[in-house]
Amino acid sequence: MNYDIADPSLAEAGALRIEWANNRMPVLATIRERFEKETPLAGLRVAACLHVTTETANLMTTLRAGGAEVMLCASNPLSTQDDVAAALVADGIPVFAIRAEDNDTYYSHLRSVLDADPQITMDDGADLVTMLLKDRPEQRPIGSTEETTTGVIRLRAMEADGVIRFPVVAVNDSATKHLFDNRHGTGQSALDGIIRSTNLLLAGKTVVIVGFGDCGAGVAARADGLGAKGVVVEVDAVRALSAAMEGYTVATADDAARIGDVFVTLTGNLRVLRGSHFEMMKDGAILANAGHFDVELDLGYLQDNAVSKRRIRHELDEWTMKDGRRIHVVAEGRLVNLGAAEGHPAEVMDMSFANQALAAEWLATDGANLGNKVYRLPETMDQEVAAIALEALGGGLEHLTDEQIDYLASWEQGT
């Protein structure tokens, strides 16, 4: 078996952490049990380009239970947990991922999984499918799946340009993915990354959230819960208004730059905080990015204009500017929750990866009947995933009576 990981001796520690996560992933466990009986992925090669975390490991074993031959590479150079990679390899799953690998190695690992000519590919950010579409015209998988907002945006651009040559499932667009993973997962884990790298007390601090989408709203709510003063920067008037009505100060990036103690970018956009903002920030400002790519903070400006840089704590760099002010950047501007913490908690990844497993099954059974387009998963799957997750949380689900079903379907009854 081919693989490329940092240290096989970490396998035992990784296996324990995978088991811990698995205990908090009841939806995936239910699907795994069914997959074992029905083997809907029998004989299929599935190549996944996902963050190599304990939760991803449990997705890999679920796909294997469904009969697939699985292989895994990282979807970000800084998000691999080397002990998890080692445990998966010890369990017979090829992994090509090393934490803090350089860009060349990152892309060579993507090529390694594509060399297996997979029939299904899975992405978190669309790097694998982009490489496949651009460089491998001879490969024609049944289909592909996508985990995150930024990947779906890239795929819709490919769809508009007519370059997609198989169906792609936008797992991110399932309600049980983005309403929970992006909001509750990023909300907690982005702050977890900032706190682990800085040990900062957030109470009383001004936390600037740039981008008030599902992720931004989650971080804002959790920072608020910890006693921070939330300032939101948005370009979408409706979302900005919604932030204002939730009680946050809404400000331009210039105004926010002057007052923030901590800045978190979650826009999926380029250079949303840049030189002009860095020059206005207070001494000691802390910057973190939770958007998919490391393009949201203009680190090139710091590289060109700071007089010095030193690593002051784990995953925390201190840049000193010409006027002596210090700007701190967490996890090199890469996804802070994965770079400086362990990514989302298992409970939310359970639902996200349940959707991934169901998407793979959907492609295996119906892929041939789908067009070369970006699809959402059928809504019934959202209901299925949510119902199992709710049951695991101990919640009871009310059911409509027959009379209520008739009433909702009728138009004749009025006042």
Q: Residues in the site for ligand NAI, rule: CB under 6 A?
A: 148-150, 178, 182, 186, 210-216, 233-236, 239, 266-269, 272, 290-292, 335, 337, 344
CB of 402 to ligand NAI, least distance (A): 38
Nearer to ligand NAI, 142 or 341 (CB): 341
| Shortest distance (Å) from residue 134 CB to ligand NAI | 20
E strand segments, 117-233: 120-123, 143-146, 168-170, 206-210, 229-233
Between 61 and 150, name the residue whose CB sits nearer to ligand NAI. 150
* Token pair 């949510």: residue: 386
Cβ atoms of residues 392 and 27 within 8 Å: yes
The pair of structure tokens assigned to 239 is: 């979302």
Q: Which residue has the tokens 């800045």?
A: 263
Specify the residue, 69 or 332, whose C-beta has the smaller distance to ligand NAI.
332
Judge residue 44's burial from the number of C-beta atoms within 10 Å of its C-beta, 0-12 exposed, 13-18 middle, 19 or more buried. buried
Q: Which is nearer to ligand NAI, 94 or 213 (CB)?
A: 213
Cβ 410 to ligand NAI, closest distance in Å? 36
Shortest CB 353 distance to ligand NAI, Å: 13
Percentages helix, strand, coil for the chain (3-state, rounded to 5) are 50, 15, 35
Nearest CB to ligand NAI, comparing residues 239 and 282? 239
| Beta-strand relationship, 316-320 and 308-313 | antiparallel
- State which residue, 260 or 367, has the beta carbon closest to ligand NAI: 260
With CB atoms as reference, the residue minimizing the distance to ligand NAI is 213
Q: Report in angstroms how near the CB of residue 241 gets to ligand NAI at its nearest.
A: 12
- Helix axis angle for 379-393 and 346-366, nearest 10°, is 150
Instruction: State the nearest-atom distance from the C-beta of 269 to ligand NAI, in Å.
Output: 4
The pair of three-digit structure tokens given for residue 188, joined into one six-digit string: 């907690």
Q: For residues 247 and 225, is the Cβ–Cβ distance under 8 A?
A: no
Rounded to whole angstroms, how far apart are CA atoms 179 and 125? 18
Q: How would DSSP label each residue in 225-281?
A: HTT-EEEEE-S-HHHHHHHHHTT-EE--HHHHHHH-SEEEE-SS-S-SB-HHHHTTS
Instruction: Work out whether the CA dihedral 294, 299, 303, 306 comes out positive or negative.
Output: negative
Report the nearest approach of ligand NAI to the CB of residue 69 (Å): 28
Q: Which CB sits closer to ligand NAI, 22 or 149?
A: 149
By C-beta, is 9 or 252 nearer to ligand NAI?
A: 252
Q: How far is the CB of 1 from ligand NAI (least distance, A)?
A: 29
* Alpha-carbon span 83 to 9, nearest angstrom: 8
